[in-house]
Amino acid sequence: MILFPAIDLKEGACVRLLKGRFEDKTVYSRDPAAMAERWAAAGAEWLHLVDLDGSLGDSRANRQALLDIRARVKIKLQLGGGIRSLEDADRWFDLGLDRLILGTVACERPLLAAEIAARHPGRLAVALDAVGRRVRVRGWLEDGGADLFEAAASLRDLGAALVIYTDVERDGARLGPNLDHTRDVARAARLPTICSGGVASLEDLAALKPLAADGVAGVISGKALYEGSLDFAAGQALLREP
């Protein structure tokens, strides 16, 4: 199981939101590439990047920060937020991103998501961000009209390589992960699943480890890593233990 440090980008800075609320943000660094170097030096295999402005339609605000991150670290990068077309996907892959994450597009334009997956096999993830069982879209601001577990069950048909499940109500709140929904998403999707939202401690990671048997392959953490309630090296070591 892999621990993914999260770098959420807003107006070129590394931030964290509380429960997805754009007005409730904490800025952790004005140099996201330096933050990426910090996680790479700590032994991260992947970074989870989110273009928050892109999710609201502004594809320019964080472009340079993302390019700087790619130039300064050699580890693998996955990016979500603002990918709305085949051309967007092609451009990011051409610039060296290893995996792209679709949320709104996968929910509203599944044929486009399938086209991107077919063009870049094994490199597309789908984000299922939910409040309860309701999938959220457009930066978590709108109801996507889909049931979480029904949406998860449809992802193999899209050609998705994995699914990222976020409990929006726990994101940034350090309330612990939603173990039941994480397990049920993984079972419904029958794809490797990454858990996001609420992870605050080594105890939370220990609680997630048994879900590897259900297909849970990774954990994303942001605020807990930045504020010190979760040590990256210790967390990664725990997840790598048999």
- Candidates 54, 88, 93; CA nearest to 70 is 93
Q: Is the pLDDT of residue 224 over 70?
A: yes
Check residue 22 and give its pLDDT: 74
Catalytically active residues, by annotation? 8, 129
Q: Is the pLDDT of residue 26 over 70?
A: yes
Check residue 52 and give its pLDDT: 92
pLDDT band, residue 236 (cuts 50/70/90): very high
- Give per-residue pLDDT as tens, 48-72: 999 999 888 887 899 999 999 999 9
- Chain centroid to Cα 154, Å, comes to 19
Q: Is the pLDDT of residue 19 over 70?
A: no
Task: Give ∠ CA 164-169-173 in degrees, rounded to 5.
Answer: 100
Domains of the chain: 2-240 (3.20.20.70)
Read off the pLDDT of each residue in 100-108 and give the average, rounded to a whole number: 93
- Give per-residue pLDDT as tens, 158-192: 999 999 999 999 987 778 999 999 999 999 999 99
Q: Is the pLDDT of residue 20 over 70?
A: no
